[in-house]
Chains A and B, each alone.
Chain A
Amino acid sequence: MNAIEFILAGMLAAATPFLLAALGELVAERAGVLNLGVEGLMAFGAVIAFIIVYHGGGHFLAFIAGGLGAALLSLIFAVIVLGFNANQVATGLAIGILGQGLSALFGKSYESLTVRALPKIAIPGLSEIPVIGGLFVQDIVVWLSLAATIAIWAMFAYSKVGLIIRAVGENPKAAHAIGYPVIAIRFAAVAFGGMLAGFAGAYAATIYTPLWADGMIAGRGWIAIALVVFGTWLTGRIFLGACLFGAVSLMGLAAQATGLDVPSQLLACLPYLVTIIVLGIISADRRLLKLNGIASLGEPFER
Chain B
Amino acid sequence: MSRTFLVLPTLVRRERASLAATLLAPPIALIVTVILNLGLYVVMGRDPAAVVYAMLIEPFVSWASFSEVLLKTGPLLLIAQGLAIGFRAKMFNIGAEGQFVLGALFASAIPIWWPAATGQWIWPAMLLLGTIGGAFWASLTAFWRVRLNANEILVSLMLSFVAVQLLNYLLLGPWKDPNGFNFPQSVMFQYDAMVPILIEGTRVNVSLILALLLSIAAWVFMQKSFIGYKLQVGGLAPRAASYAGFTESRAIWLSLLIGGAAAGLAGAAEVAGPLGQLQRSISTGYGYAAIIVAYLGGLHPIGIIISAIVMAALYIGGDNAMVSANLPVAAVRVFQGSLLLGYLVAIAFSRYRLAWRPAATRSAT
List the A residue with the shortest CB-CB distance to B141. Answer: A276
List the B residue with the shortest CB-CB distance to A102. Answer: B334
**How distant is the Cα of A36 from the Cα of B94 in the complex, in angstroms?**
11
Contact B150 A283 (CB under 8 A): yes
Contact B331 A101 (CB under 8 A): yes
Contact A91 B155 (CB under 8 A): no
**How distant is the Cα of A96 from the Cα of B154 in the complex, in angstroms?**
14
* Total chain A interface residues with beta-carbon distance under 8 A: 51
Contact B11 A279 (CB under 8 A): no
Say how far A275's CB is from chain B's closest CB, in angstroms: 5
Cβ < 8 Å to B, chain A residues 76-132: 76, 80, 83-87, 89-91, 93-102, 104-105, 108
| CB of B92 closer than 8 Å to a CB of A | yes
Task: Say which residue of A86, A94, A96, A284 sits within 8 Å of B149 (CB atoms).
Answer: A284
| CB of A2 closer than 8 Å to a CB of B | no
**How distant is the Cα of A97 from the Cα of B314 in the complex, in angstroms?**
15
Contact with A along B199-237 (1 / 0, CB 8 A): 000000000000000000000000000000000000000
List the A residue with the shortest CB-CB distance to B327. Answer: A105
Contact with A along B232-265 (1 / 0, CB 8 A): 0000000000000000000000000000000000
Contact A36 B153 (CB under 8 A): yes
Say how far A38's CB is from chain B's closest CB, in angstroms: 11
**How distant is the Cα of A263 from the Cα of B154 in the complex, in angstroms?**
25
Q: A101-B333, A105-B328, A280-B150 are in contact. Are A91 and B159 (CB under 8 A)?
A: no
Say how far A111's CB is from chain B's closest CB, in angstroms: 10
Q: A104-B328, A108-B328, A229-B154 are in contact. Are A276 and B144 (CB under 8 A)?
A: yes
Q: Which residues of A contact B159 (CB under 8 A)?
A: 272, 276
List the B residue with the shortest CB-CB distance to A229. Answer: B151
**How distant is the Cα of A278 from the Cα of B150 in the complex, in angstroms?**
9
Q: A222-B158, A283-B150, A289-B149 are in contact. Are A97 and B337 (CB under 8 A)?
A: yes
Task: Say which residue of A40, A268, A279 sits within 8 Å of B155 (CB atoms).
Answer: A279
Contact B330 A97 (CB under 8 A): no
Q: Which residues of A contact B144 (CB under 8 A)?
A: 276, 279-280
Q: Which residues of A contact B351 (CB under 8 A)?
A: 85
Q: Which residues of B contact A223 (CB under 8 A)?
A: 158
Q: Which residues of B contact A286 (CB under 8 A)?
A: 149
Q: A225-B154, A269-B162 are in contact. Are A303 and B363 (CB under 8 A)?
A: yes
Contact B158 A86 (CB under 8 A): no
| CB of A302 closer than 8 Å to a CB of B | yes
Q: Which residues of A contact B13 (CB under 8 A)?
A: 302
Contact A266 B154 (CB under 8 A): no
Task: Say which residue of A89, A99, A283 sits within 8 Å of B148 (CB atoms).
Answer: A283
Contact A284 B148 (CB under 8 A): yes
**How distant is the Cα of A97 from the Cα of B148 in the complex, in angstroms?**
29
Q: Which residues of A contact B335 (CB under 8 A)?
A: 101
List the B residue with the shortest CB-CB distance to A274. Answer: B158
List the B residue with the shortest CB-CB distance to A101. Answer: B333
Task: Decide if the interface of chain B is mainly helix, strand, loop or mixed.
Answer: helix
| CB of A219 closer than 8 Å to a CB of B | yes
A-B contacts counted at CB < 8 A amount to 148
Q: A85-B11, A276-B144 are in contact. Are A222 and B330 (CB under 8 A)?
A: no
**How distant is the Cα of A91 from the Cα of B121 in the complex, in angstroms?**
43
**How distant is the Cα of A105 from the Cα of B333 in the complex, in angstroms?**
9
**How distant is the Cα of A219 from the Cα of B147 in the complex, in angstroms?**
25
Task: Say which residue of A96, A108, A265, A276 sits within 8 Å of B158 (CB atoms).
Answer: A276
Say how far A59's CB is from chain B's closest CB, in angstroms: 25
List the A residue with the shortest CB-CB distance to B333. Answer: A101
Contact with A along B153-180 (1 / 0, CB 8 A): 1110111011001101100110000000
Task: Say which residue of A104, A222, A280 sits within 8 Å of B333 (CB atoms).
Answer: A104
Contact B151 A279 (CB under 8 A): yes
Q: Which residues of B contact A219 (CB under 8 A)?
A: 157-158, 161
Contact A95 B344 (CB under 8 A): no
**How distant is the Cα of A283 from the Cα of B330 in the complex, in angstroms?**
36
| Most interface-central of A86, A93, A99, A108 (chain B CB within 10 A) | A93
Q: Which residues of B contact A91 (CB under 8 A)?
A: 341, 344
Q: Which residues of B contact A268 (CB under 8 A)?
A: 165
Contact B341 A95 (CB under 8 A): yes
**How distant is the Cα of A29 from the Cα of B166 in the complex, in angstroms?**
33
Contact with A along B337-365 (1 / 0, CB 8 A): 11011001101100110000000001101
Q: Which residues of A contact B147 (CB under 8 A)?
A: 284
Q: Determine, out of B57-65, B109-117, B287-295, the stretch whose residues face the partner at the interface.
A: B287-295
**How distant is the Cα of A145 from the Cα of B201 in the complex, in angstroms?**
60
| CB of B73 closer than 8 Å to a CB of A | no
Q: Which residues of B contact A80 (CB under 8 A)?
A: 341, 344-345
Contact B341 A76 (CB under 8 A): yes
| CB of A273 closer than 8 Å to a CB of B | yes
List the B residue with the shortest CB-CB distance to A280. Answer: B148
Cβ < 8 Å to B, chain A residues 268-302: 268-269, 272-273, 275-276, 279-281, 283-284, 286, 289, 302
Q: Can you name 25 A-B pairs with beta carbons within 8 Å? A: A83-B11, A86-B348, A89-B92, A89-B153, A90-B291, A93-B288, A94-B337, A94-B338, A95-B341, A97-B337, A98-B334, A98-B341, A100-B337, A101-B331, A104-B328, A105-B334, A218-B161, A263-B173, A273-B158, A279-B151, A279-B154, A280-B144, A280-B148, A283-B151, A302-B13
8 closest A-B pairs by CB: A98-B337, A101-B333, A104-B330, A101-B334, A94-B340, A97-B337, A84-B348, A280-B148
Q: Which chain B residues have a beta carbon within 8 Å of chain A's beta carbons?
A: 11, 13, 44, 92, 94, 144, 147-151, 153-155, 157-159, 161-162, 165-166, 168-169, 172-173, 288, 291-292, 295, 328-338, 340-341, 344-345, 347-348, 351-352, 362-363, 365
